[in-house]
Chains A and B, each alone.
Chain A
Amino acid sequence: GEDVEQSLFLSVREGDSSVINCTYTDSSSTYLYWYKQEPGAGLQLLTYIFSNMDMKQDQRLTVLLNKKDKHLSLRIADTQTGDSAIYFCAVTSGSARQLTFGSGTQLTVLP
């Protein structure tokens, strides 16, 4: 089955850009999502990209998809302390609706 991997931790300085990376194994992955989880809260949908796209930009967020390498990234421009959270990559494969999640990347923004 699908396997999704992320690095566990990332620290950046306030105002810098953050890049969170994700790799997946199933080449039939169709939709790829980024969710944000703040302490004690649920999973907040940030953005998503369809597999026929290479890039999607939404305000400070840029998603890049490299289908050949099965690599997805989330870039956050001008990172703020309020961006500190766990970021999850999740994918659907084929016609299935179930999401397969990565382990989450803990982003810490230092002042």
Chain B
Amino acid sequence: EPEVTQTPSHQVTQMGQEVILRCVPISNHLYFYWYRQILGQKVEFLVSFYNNEISEKSEIFDDQFSVERPDGSNFTLKIRSTKLEDSAMYFCASSARQPQGTQHFGDGTRLSIL
């Protein structure tokens, strides 16, 4: 069964550094998402992306965050200047064309900011 893949599985970064989290969505999917889960808290929506632009974003997704689909397969989340509170598990998801298509998630990247 096709799946969403995320790399790396664990990223350790110094505070203030830039970090890029990578995702390969399911190949025929058109909608892409990032969520995060801070330890002990709920999974929170960050951003959705369709047709090469952001379609929805939450209050969490401020100017420090950006997303990109640099080629036909990858979908990336960049955090420009990481803060301690960015430490979390980051999940990528993708869904197909149909309205409210079900979202399929990757295994996540655990981001640790030191």
Residues of A within 8 A of B (CB): 30-31, 33, 35, 40-45, 48, 88, 90, 92, 96-104
B107 lies within 8 A of chain A by Cβ: yes
Within 30-70 of B, Cβ neighbours of A (below 8 Å) are at: 31, 33, 35, 41-45, 48, 55-56, 58
Secondary structure at the B interface, as helix, strand, loop or mixed, is: strand
Q: Are A88 and B43 in contact (CB under 8 A)?
A: yes
Q: Judge whether A45 and B107 touch: CB under 8 Å.
A: no
Nearest chain A CB to B108's CB is how many angstroms away? 5
By a CB distance below 8 angstroms, the chain B residues around A90 are: 43
Chain A neighbourhood of B91, CB < 8 A: 42-43
Q: How far is the CB of A48 from chain B (nearest CB, A)?
A: 6
Q: Count B interface residues, CB 8 Å.
A: 25
Q: Does B105 contact A (CB under 8 A)?
A: yes
- A100 proximity list for chain B (CB < 8 A): 45
Q: Flag if B102 contacts A33 (CB, 8 Å).
A: yes
Interface hub of B31, B56, B103, B106 (most chain A Cβ within 10 A): B103
Tell me, in angstroms, the Cα distance from A102 to B4 when the chains sit together. Answer: 22
**Chain B residues within an 8 Å CB radius of A96:** 56
Please report the C-alpha to C-alpha distance between residue A96 and residue B48 in the assembled complex, in whole angstroms: 10
Q: Are A98 and B45 touching (Cβ within 8 A)?
A: yes
Q: How far is the CB of B19 from chain A (nearest CB, A)?
A: 19
Complex alpha-carbon distance, A30 and B35, angstroms = 20
A86 to chain B, nearest CB (A): 10
Q: Is the CB of B35 within 8 A of A99?
A: yes
Cα(A101)–Cα(B38), bound, Å: 13
CA distance A33 to B93 in the complex (A): 14
With A30-B100, A33-B102 as known contacts, state yes or no: A43 contacts B48, CB within 8 Å.
Answer: no
Contact, CB under 8 Å: A98 / B33: yes
Please tell me if the beta carbons of B42 and A102 are within 8 angstroms of each other in the complex: yes
A100 to B35, CA, bound (A): 10
- In the complex, what's the smallest C-beta–C-beta distance from A103 to chain B, in angstroms? 5
A41 contacts across to B, CB distance below 8 A: 107
Please name all residues of chain A whose beta carbon is closer than 8 Å to the beta carbon of B45 when the two chains form the complex: 98-100
| CB-based contact A97/B31 at 8 Å | yes
